[in-house]
Amino acid sequence: MDDITVYAYADGPLGGMLLTGRRSAGGRAVLRSLSLPGQKGAVAVGDGWVRDQGAFGEAVRQLEEYFDGRRERFDLECAGDTGTEFQRRVWAALEEIPYGTTVSYGEIGRRVGAGGAGVRAVGTAIGRNPLLVVRPCHRVIGADGSLRGYAAGLDRKRSLLDLEGALA
């Protein structure tokens, strides 16, 4: 039997979260995306997808710990087959940003070898991050310290950075 797309909803302080992934027949679901309500480019449940509230139990548990201030890093199996090679490099750089800290878009660009004019491409790749919260794109800010560009809105970005104690 082919892989099937499964989804589940989880409550959180930023609103209801939609978790999606793929599951092989009889296998575990692997997280592919985490979306928030009103998010730019959010995943929408598709025809033939199967709702399975238990599919992402570990992800939901870790998210609850994060929002309760008891977890600083996620340890989840996530699909690595999404995005372009460049996007995957940018997303890997996001995962290296420590909890409670921020870096600039330019710094991410330097880390992936896309300085200067490539910073715009870095911003685009960050904006297409399919794993909000889990892959901490909220920790990337403007070079001047301003909050910029979060697909789920700057209020949510501010909330996440406040939770982590990253804002002065």
Chain segment 25-53, per-residue pLDDT in tens = 667 899 999 999 999 989 999 999 999 99
Query: Higher pLDDT residue, 86 or 1?
Result: 86
For position 36, what pLDDT does the model report? 94
The catalytic residue among 137, 151, 152, 166 is 137
Tens digits of residue pLDDT in 70-90: 999 999 989 877 899 999 999
For position 80, what pLDDT does the model report? 75
Greatest Cα-to-Cα distance within the chain, rounded to the nearest angstrom = 52
The DSSP secondary structure of 38-60, one letter per residue, reads T-TT---PPTT-EE-TTTTHHHH
For position 2, what pLDDT does the model report? 63
- pLDDT for residue 101 is more than 80: yes
Active site residue 78: no
Residue 1 pLDDT class (50, 70, 90 cuts): very low
Contact 105, 140 (CB under 8 A): yes
- pLDDT for residue 113 is more than 70: yes
Question: Cα(first)–Cα(last) distance of the chain, in Å?
Answer: 52
